C-alpha cells in the first residue's frame, strides 16, 4: 500500500456508537474520580474526554474540512474536547493525581489487548503511562465485553437503522438476481450490487463475496473476477451499512434462472 494513496475511512463501530464521530484518529476517554474500592457505583462522578486532531489548512485542501474542538464537543455530547497532541499530557496528569488506577483499554483489533493492537499510538502512550506510575497500583482491563453487553439490546432508533440496512441489502440482491444471466462476470455483478446499495442511501458494509461455480466453496473468495457460465450457481455475501449499522446477507441462485434438483445422499445423524 503506497503511503500517499487515499482509502475510504471505516470508523471503529464502538467508537462511533459512543460519539457518532466519523473522523479518523480520535480517542475517547471515560474517567471517574473513584478513589477507593466500593460496591456502590451510583455516586461516582464521571467525565468524558475526546481527543481529536486539530484543523490543518494543508490537510483540508486535500481531504476537506474537519471539526473544530467546539464542533466536536457539540456533535458528540462529550464533556471535554482536546487536541490529540495533548493526550500524553493528560495521562501524565492522571498519573500524578491518583494512587490507584485501572486502565480500560480497547485494542480495536483483538479481544486480548496484548495481541496485534491496531492503534499503536494509543498503545505506546498507555505503556509509557504505566511505566511512569510503576510505583503505584495499576491494572489493565479490556472493556470490550462490557461494551458488547451495553450494545446487545438495541434501542428503537438502532432497530430502525438496522431495518433500513437490511431492506436495502435485500432489494439490492433481488435486483442483482433479475439481471443475472449466463456469461455475466462476477465483477459486473459486484458493481451492480454496490450501485444498488449506494442508490438506496447506504454504503457497502464490507468487501462482498461474489463467486460462481466451484469458487462458491471458498468462504472468503474476494477476487470476484471470473465469468459465471450457464448451469453454474452464483453465491453472494454482501451487506449494507446505514448510519453505522451493517446488514449481512448470503444468497445463492442459478445464473440461468432455472433451479434443478441437487440430489444429496441420505445422511443419518
pLDDT digit string, tens, across residues 99-143: 666 676 766 555 554 454 446 666 677 667 666 666 555 667 778
- 137-156 in b/e form (b: 16+ CB < 10 A) is ebeeebebeebeeeeeeeee
Kindly state the percentage of the chain with pLDDT values over 90: 50
Question: Where among 127, 152, 177 does a domain terminate?
Answer: 152
Please check whether residues 123 and 208 belong to one and the same domain.
no
The grid coordinates of residue 69 equal 474542538
Q: What is the pLDDT of residue 117?
A: 46
Please check whether residues 109 and 194 belong to one and the same domain.
no
| Helix (H), strand (E) counts: the chain | 8, 11
Q: What is the pLDDT of residue 34?
A: 59
Please check whether residues 99 and 218 belong to one and the same domain.
no
Please check whether residues 56 and 123 belong to one and the same domain.
yes
Residue 177 pLDDT > 90? yes
Task: Decide if 94 is inside a domain.
Answer: yes
Strands (E), 14-130: 27-32, 46-52, 80-83, 100-104
Task: Decide if 220 is inside a domain.
Answer: yes
Q: What's the CA gap between 255 and 171, in Å, rounded?
A: 18
Please check whether residues 22 and 148 belong to one and the same domain.
yes
Q: What is the pLDDT of residue 175?
A: 98
Q: What's the CA gap between 189 and 211, in Å, rounded?
A: 10
Q: Convert the pLDDT of each residue in 218-243 to its tens digit.
A: 999 999 999 999 999 999 999 999 99
Task: Decide if 40 is inside a domain.
Answer: yes
- Cα 173 to chain centroid distance, Å, stands at 23
pTM of the predicted model over 0.85: no
Q: Which residues pair with 30 in a beta bridge?
A: 48
Please check whether residues 120 and 244 belong to one and the same domain.
no
Number of structural domains, the chain? 2
**Where residue 94 falls among pLDDT bands split at 50, 70, 90?**
confident
- Taking residues 82-86, report their average pLDDT: 91
* Higher-confidence position of 251 and 38: 251
Q: What is the pLDDT of residue 91?
A: 80
**Where residue 88 falls among pLDDT bands split at 50, 70, 90?**
confident
- The CATH number of the domain holding residue 109 is 3.40.350.10
Residue 249 pLDDT > 70? yes
Question: Where among 152, 186, 204 does a domain terminate?
Answer: 152
Question: Where among 107, 125, 152 does a domain terminate?
Answer: 152
Which residues form the domain of 167?
A: 156-254
Range with the lowest mean pLDDT among 1-5, 54-58, 91-95?
Answer: 1-5
Residue 188 pLDDT > 70? yes
Residue 29 pLDDT > 50? yes
- Cα 82 to chain centroid distance, Å, stands at 23
**Where residue 2 falls among pLDDT bands split at 50, 70, 90?**
low
Compute the mean pLDDT over every residue in the chain, rounded to the nearest whole number.
84
Amino acid at each position: 500500500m503506497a503511503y500517499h494513496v487515499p482509502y475510504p475511512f471505516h470508523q471503529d463501530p464502538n467508537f462511533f456508537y459512543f460519539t457518532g464521530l466519523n473522523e479518523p484518529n480520535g480517542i475517547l476517554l471515560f474517567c471517574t474520580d473513584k478513589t477507593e474500592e466500593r460496591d456502590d457505583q451510583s455516586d461516582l462522578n464521571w467525565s468524558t474526554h475526546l481527543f481529536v486532531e486539530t484543523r490543518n489548512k494543508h490537510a483540508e485542501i486535500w481531504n476537506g474540512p474537519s471539526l473544530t474542538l467546539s464542533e466536536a464537543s457539540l456533535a458528540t455530547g462529550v464533556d471535554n474536547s482536546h487536541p490529540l497532541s495533548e493526550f500524553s499530557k493528560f495521562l501524565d496528569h492522571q498519573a500524578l493525581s491518583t494512587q490507584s488506577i485501572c486502565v480500560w483499554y480497547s485494542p480495536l483489533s483483538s479481544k486480548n489487548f496484548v495481541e496485534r493492537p491496531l492503534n499503536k499510538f494509543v498503545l505506546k502512550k498507555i505503556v509509557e503511562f504505566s511505566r511512569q506510575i510503576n510505583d503505584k497500583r495499576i491494572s489493565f482491563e479490556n472493556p470490550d465485553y462490557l461494551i458488547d453487553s451495553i450494545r446487545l439490546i438495541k434501542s428503537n432508533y438502532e432497530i430502525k437503522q438496522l431495518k433500513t440496512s437490511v431492506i436495502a441489502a435485500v432489494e439490492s440482491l433481488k435486483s442483482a438476481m433479475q439481471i443475472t444471466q449466463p456469461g455475466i462476470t462476477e465483477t459486473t455483478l459486484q458493481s451492480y450490487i454496490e450501485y444498488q446499495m449506494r442508490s438506496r442511501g447506504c454504503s457497502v458494509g464490507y468487501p462482498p463475496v461474489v463467486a460462481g461455480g466451484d469458487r462458491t466453496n471458498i468462504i472468503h473468495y474476494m477476487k470476484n473476477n471470473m465469468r459465471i457460465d450457464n448451469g453454474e450457481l452464483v453465491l453472494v455475501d454482501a451487506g449494507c451499512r446505514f448510519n453505522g449499522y451493517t446488514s449481512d446477507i448470503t444468497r445463492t441462485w442459478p445464473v440461468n434462472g432455472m433451479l434443478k434438483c441437487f440430489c444429496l445422499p441420505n445422511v443419518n445423524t
